[in-house]
């Protein structure tokens, strides 16, 4: 029992949601305790609102980064409070400043997650300040210092927490990374099942969609590590975490590798158990990844039963047996009909053994890296100067930018909400604006999901709040429930939004009740939430909608371009020798990021109205084929430095042809995007767009299918077979069905 309790405690203290909730609990409890001790119950609500606004700006960061972000957030908060004080007596001026603030702050989202959080928290504080001011400068002058004090207090708690416990967020992200990687290995193992009439295309699509989650987890882990990298030598724990991250990258490249069409392997080895043995090894590696996830979270050694090593030994024996059978067939028939599938089987077996070796050293710390001279450098995507930041924002000032569209949509939504509030003289009408800010997302599908969750959570929270007021009339118990509601809100808002909304609604209802302002709040909150959701839903449909079908030529072009750069980096490694330096890892990560963007866009497209989806079948085919092509390229990357990884002149010529083909098709898709870009409100004219790809026929300049002389030649030939199919899907991608809007 003690060991079980200890492991549960270790998981909890390293879970991001639990630590966020604990920080909010400490900050809110201290505020309430001070208010009760000093007799400032009437002043508590502005302070609590300041705490909430500050907590909304929090992202995973080191204590130094959190301090810089907090100072910037306080500066933005002060600017917003000043704007409210200056315009609160003139509602229409206040409305204009709110719309301009939404327009400007939303564009900061292009700079990164830290700035998106600060912009969001600043808009929320603007509305809180206007709500607390009660349409008078005197009210604003009284409430603003209290809100800023609450924001500063939470910032102090956050910075101190980040200084005292810097490891927990890194552990959480690494544990999550290995968990989603384990699921990826399980899905990959399903492709190796040698059974007739298996829907491999559906399984490939599931793998491609889950790859987006793996890439997101890799990026989150990288950012968590990057924020804690100082200028000097990193501490031992950070070096060990960096080793685990690089090991996960290596596993991901090997896991995403494909050495042959799986249906060909299934046909060739249908009467053998060798593919089942491959599947078993891959499944065991997936289970090992999940065990590593638990070990990282619990800070304990992973449990190894030796099953993986024995399964690999059995697999190697089965491959050797197939070699003997193939030799007998070649001797009897005077040919080698099994040469190609056997070569791929050997490559698969080698890759699985290498993957198991990576897992064996994943928790070995940085010492394992020192022997290989691994480059620990990471690429920082944050803006490096004010000029760089302004350049990134300025790059969004065009009609196709999702951030500009979202900022305009949000500003107009807030104008509509404010106008409704003024027309109805609703004293709680600022909740309409809060609902709009919380549910509005850059994508239509995300907005629809969020507003449904918001409505459900509000209804549940009001019911819970009413029940709490009736069942626990004591002020002290209600204060405790208020603190608990804040902790649940911040702990669950990234993972369980319905629960988070219910918690914060309960918090606000209890807070207003303690201030003697609960009369009519329940009905007003329900109506205002419904009004805000309706306005946000209408805006996501009518105001510069960011339909995914319009973005696909550009996203597809990015996929092809990054795959070309990945192939170029791989070829450079074949010349210079295997080294996982920053340049190679960046090329590999960019290719997977583009693939993830494509899969995430497809998932969002399926949630959009049918009339604007475009040709979903073509989109699905392109995604599946592009991910398959990336799998073949990843196999080339996994083979670097291995046996048979030689490249002769013919291989180099074939690789150069592939590079040129990928780049040319990417350019054609970019041109197609530009050709239709001026027609964002209508379907692009099919003849004009088709003309862009006119000279790029179904076979186009795809490299010839040369006979495979080596492992590299075999992989290049596989890419060469996929590429013409991608060309055909690209042609259909920019030729929408007649009369269908994109």
Q: Each residue of 677-690: pLDDT tens digit?
A: 544 433 333 333 33
- Residue ranges of the chain with pLDDT lower than 50? 1, 366-368, 370-373, 678-708, 738-742
Task: Provide the b/e sequence for 193-215 (b: ≥16 CB within 10 Å).
Answer: ebeeeeebeebbbebbbbbbbbb
Residues 292 and 178 sit within 8 Å (Cβ to Cβ):
yes
200-226 helix and 616-638 helix, angle to the nearest 10 degrees? 60
Measured in degrees and rounded to the nearest 5, phi and psi for residue 217 equal -65, -40
pLDDT at 563: 93
d(CA 534, CA 294): 43
Residue 685 DSSP code: P
167-190 helix and 16-38 helix, angle to the nearest 10 degrees? 150
pLDDT at 330: 64
Task: Provide the b/e sequence for 588-608 (b: ≥16 CB within 10 Å).
Answer: bbbbbbbbbbbbbbbebbeeb
What count of other Cβ atoms lies within 10 Å of the Cβ of residue 375?
Answer: 15
pLDDT at 692: 38
Residues 52 and 127 sit within 8 Å (Cβ to Cβ):
no
Residues 94 and 84 sit within 8 Å (Cβ to Cβ):
yes
Residues whose CB is less than 8 angstroms from the CB of residue 119 and which lie 6 or more positions away in sequence, other chains included: 76, 105, 106, 108, 109
Tokens read off for 623: 């995604």
pTM attached to this predicted model: 0.87
Residues 145 and 81 sit within 8 Å (Cβ to Cβ):
no
pLDDT at 284: 93
pLDDT at 530: 92
pLDDT at 62: 87
What count of other Cβ atoms lies within 10 Å of the Cβ of residue 71?
Answer: 13
444-471 helix and 430-439 helix, angle to the nearest 10 degrees? 130
d(CA 175, CA 15): 9
Question: 637: closest CA among 313, 354, 230, 366?
Answer: 354
Residues whose CB is less than 8 angstroms from the CB of residue 542 and which lie 6 or more positions away in sequence, other chains included: none
Alpha-helix runs per DSSP H in 361-429: 367-372, 386-394, 402-424
């Amino acid at each position: 029992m003690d060991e079980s309790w200890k492991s549960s405690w270790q998981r909890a203290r390293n879970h991001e949601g639990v630590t966020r909730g604990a920080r909010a609990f400490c900050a809110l409890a201290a505020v309430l305790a001070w208010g009760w001790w000093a007799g400032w119950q009437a002043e508590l609500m502005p302070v609590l609102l300041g705490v909430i606004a500050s907590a909304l700006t929090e992202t995973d960061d080191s204590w130094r980064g959190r301090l810089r972000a907090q100072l910037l957030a306080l500066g933005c908060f002060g600017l917003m409070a000043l704007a409210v004080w200056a315009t609160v007596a003139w509602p229409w001026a206040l409305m204009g400043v709110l719309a301009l603030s939404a327009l400007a702050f939303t564009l900061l989202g292009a700079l990164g997650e830290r700035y998106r959080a600060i912009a969001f928290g600043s808009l929320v504080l603007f509305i809180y300040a206007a709500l607390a001011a009660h349409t008078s400068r005197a009210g604003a002058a009284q409430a603003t210092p209290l809100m800023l004090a609450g924001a500063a207090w939470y910032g102090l708690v956050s910075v101190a927490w980040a200084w005292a416990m810097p490891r927990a967020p890194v552990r959480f992200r690494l544990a999550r990374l290995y968990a989603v990687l384990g699921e990826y290995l399980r899905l990959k193992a399903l492709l190796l099942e040698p059974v007739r009439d298996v829907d491999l295309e559906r399984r490939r699509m599931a793998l491609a969609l889950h790859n987006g989650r793996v890439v997101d987890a890799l990026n989150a882990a990288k950012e968590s590590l990057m924020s804690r990298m100082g200028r000097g030598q990193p501490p031992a724990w950070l070096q060990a975490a960096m080793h685990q991250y690089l090991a996960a990258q290596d596993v991901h490249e090997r896991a995403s590798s494909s050495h042959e069409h799986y249906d060909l392997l299934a046909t060739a080895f249908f009467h053998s158990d060798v593919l089942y043995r491959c599947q078993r090894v891959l499944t065991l590696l997936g289970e090992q990844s999940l065990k590593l996830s638990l070990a990282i979270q619990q800070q304990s050694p992973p449990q190894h039963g030796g099953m993986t090593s024995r399964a690999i030994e059995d697999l190697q024996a089965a491959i050797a047996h197939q070699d003997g059978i193939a030799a007998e067939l070649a001797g009897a028939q005077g040919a080698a009909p099994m040469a190609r599938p056997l070569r791929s089987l050997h490559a698969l077996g080698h890759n699985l053994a290498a993957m198991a070796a990576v897992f064996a050293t994943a928790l070995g710390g940085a010492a394992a890296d020192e022997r290989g001279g691994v480059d620990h450098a990471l690429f920082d995507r944050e803006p490096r100067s004010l000029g760089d930041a302004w350049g990134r924002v300025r790059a969004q000032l065009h009609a196709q930018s999702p951030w500009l569209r979202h900022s305009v949509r949000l500003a107009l939504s807030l104008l509509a909400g404010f106008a409704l509030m003024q027309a109805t003289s609703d004293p709680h009408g600022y909740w309409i604006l809060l609902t709009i800010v919380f549910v509005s997302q850059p994508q239509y599908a995300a907005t629809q999901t969020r507003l449904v969750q918001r409505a459900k959570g509000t209804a549940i929270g009001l019911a819970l709040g009413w029940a709490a007021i009736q069942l626990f009339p004591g002020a002290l118990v209600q204060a405790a429930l208020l603190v608990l509601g804040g902790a649940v809100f911040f702990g669950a808002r990234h993972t369980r939004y319905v629960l988070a909304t219910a918690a914060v609604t309960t918090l606000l209802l209890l807070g207003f009740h303690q201030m003697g302002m609960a009369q009519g709040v329940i009905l007003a909150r329900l109506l205002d939430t419904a009004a805000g959701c309706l306005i946000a839903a209408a805006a996501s449909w009518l105001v510069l909608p960011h339909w995914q079908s319009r973005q696909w030529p550009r996203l597809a072009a990015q996929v092809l371009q990054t795959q070309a750069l990945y192939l170029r980096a791989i070829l450079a490694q074949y010349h210079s020798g295997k080294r996982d330096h920053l340049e190679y890892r960046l090329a590999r990560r960019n290719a997977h990021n583009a693939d993830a963007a494509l899969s995430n866009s497809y998932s969002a497209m399926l949630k959009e109205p049918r009339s604007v989806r475009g040709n979903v079948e073509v989109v699905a085919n392109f995604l599946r084929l592009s991910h398959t092509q990336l799998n073949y390229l990843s196999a080339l990357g996994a083979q670097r430095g291995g046996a048979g990884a030689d490249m002769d002149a013919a291989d180099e010529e074939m690789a150069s042809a592939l590079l040129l083909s990928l780049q040319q098709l990417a350019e054609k898709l970019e041109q197609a995007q530009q050709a239709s870009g001026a027609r964002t409100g209508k379907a692009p004219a099919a003849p004009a767009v088709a003309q862009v790809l006119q000279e790029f026929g179904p076979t186009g300049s795809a490299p010839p299918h040369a006979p495979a002389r080596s492992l590299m030649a075999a992989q290049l030939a596989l890419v060469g077979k996929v590429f013409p199919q991608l060309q055909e899907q690209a042609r259909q991608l920019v030729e929408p069905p007649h009369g269908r809007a994109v």
